[in-house]
Copies of this chain bind each other. A is one copy, B any other.
Amino acid sequence: MFDKNVVLLVGGVGGAKLAYGLYNIIPPERLTIIVNTGDDFWLYGLRICPDLDTITYTLSGLVNPQMGWGIKDDTTTTLTAMERIGEAPWFRLGDQDLATHMLRTQLWNEGYSLTEITRRITSALGIRCKVLPMADTPVETRVHTKERGELGFQRYFVKHRWQPTVTSINYLGIDDAKVNTSIQEVITNADAVIIGPSNPWLSIKPILNIPGIADLMNSQEIPRVAVTPLIQGKAVKGPTAKIMRELGYEVSVKTVVANYQHIINGFVVDERDTLTLSSDIRTLAIDTLMDNNEKRITVAKKILNWLGNWI
């Protein structure tokens, strides 16, 4: 029985794989998943939180296994009907998925915090670990591009399929975001913090840039480890490598480590890569590819074994 408190920081699909692995081996009361909300946006009057939903659908078993997001066997009757009234939707919203956005918006408009809303939805779906949005106030990841100027995250990522060249990224509202009491409590009680294999710039930085969160994590003598989002210089999925190149960084795990060096004291590198780090950062080299549920659990187990010996 794993008897340590683990906090996992993630974005969407990539991070959800490790979340799944950990959720399947850690007693749920020991696990908290802090989720990026920089991708959240309003569409058709609804508050949409793509990363929170990806984690929620993954842990509840509802997720579409082919996509890694959305609900399996979902239909798109509403989106099809939209075309009839002259709207060409660019963001996929399944009919079952819509229920989540609608209930969330109802509760949001009634004044509930996103933390409380997420607790209600995840509880209703039988998820027993804590799933926490990184903040209750809106933070917007803004992507500045060469071809199309400034884009909201979903327009960059979904509408333009992350094809525009990124010149810089900023997080609107981050200075006003607060480490809320839920986050404060779980980090204070954590025995280890794991940064998932999510995109460092699009998914993890919005979390780590919340004023006070890095200091809070660093104030504790616990493992703070990141899992590589790159294998042999490539992202398993998504624009991590492309963005690093466009922002002028060397596309390698070294850059990722440098990006996290103010936080981490441990790093999980893929066994296919070689990485030599200064002695103040421990490393674990394993097969980090999690392309099926079994491998997700295996990776989680290896990381927990490493942390178990460390703590």
Contact = CB atoms under 8 A, between A and B. Distances in A.
Interface of A: 42-47, 71, 75, 77-82, 84-87, 95-103, 105-106, 108-109, 120-121, 123-125
A127 to B, nearest CB: 11
A82 B71 CA distance: 13
8 cross-chain pairs, A with B, having the tightest CB-CB distances, nearest first: A45-B105, A44-B102, A86-B124, A81-B99, A77-B95, A81-B96, A82-B99, A85-B124
B106 A43 contact: yes
Chain copies in the assembly? 2
8 contacts: A44-B103, A45-B45, A45-B46, A45-B105, A78-B102, A81-B96, A85-B121, A86-B124
A85 B106 CA distance: 13
A258 B210 CA distance: 66
Contacts of A71: 81
A95 B109 CA distance: 22
A110 to B, nearest CB: 10
A82 B102 contact: yes
A77 B96 contact: yes
A85 B125 contact: yes
A109 B75 contact: no
A103 B87 contact: yes
A45 B124 CA distance: 20
Given A86-B120, A86-B124, A45 B81 contact: no
Contact of A99 (B42, B84, B103, B124): B84
A99 B84 CA distance: 9
Nearest to A103: B87
A121 B87 CA distance: 10
Contact of A82 (B47, B103, B109, B125): B103
A23 to B, nearest CB: 19
Contacts of A87: 99, 103, 106
Contacts of A95: 75, 77-78, 81, 95
Contacts of A105: 44-46
A45 B98 contact: no
A183 B46 CA distance: 31
B98 A81 contact: yes
A105 B46 CA distance: 9
B81 A125 contact: no
A97 B98 CA distance: 13
A103 to B, nearest CB: 5
Contact of A45 (B80, B96, B102): B102
B109 A45 contact: yes
Contacts of A96: 77-78, 80-81
A119 to B, nearest CB: 11
A106 B44 contact: yes
Contacts of A100: 81, 85
